[in-house]
Amino acid sequence: MKIIRDGETRVQEGSNFGINIHRGGRTTTSSEGCQTIPPDQWTGFYELAKSEARRIYGDQWNKVVIPYILIDELG
């Protein structure tokens, strides 16, 4: 997988890594490459994602890995 971060490209080989979604900082991402949500938007995002996961997966909602796709609008 090709990863571009801060304008630098690197290749990550294998499948033992993750790019996750988590709460970021107010002025930084607070991340080494994950997707982040600003703190003032985090609770709303998390509650919506959790309610949809519960609707789809029921009691197992927090035991399921839910993939998502990043789209490169530049290329």
One digit per residue, pLDDT tens: the chain, 75 residues?
Answer: 677 666 677 777 777 767 788 998 888 877 777 888 999 999 999 999 999 999 999 999 999 988 887 777 765
Q: State the pLDDT at residue 48.
A: 96
Q: How far is CA 25 from the centre of its chain?
A: 14
**Distance from C-alpha of 45 to C-alpha of 54, rounded to nearest angstrom:** 14
Q: State the pLDDT at residue 13.
A: 74
**Distance from C-alpha of 51 to C-alpha of 4, rounded to nearest angstrom:** 31
Q: State the pLDDT at residue 39.
A: 94
Q: State the pLDDT at residue 57.
A: 95
**The model's pTM:** 0.70
CA dihedral 23, 27, 31, 33 (to 10 degrees): 110
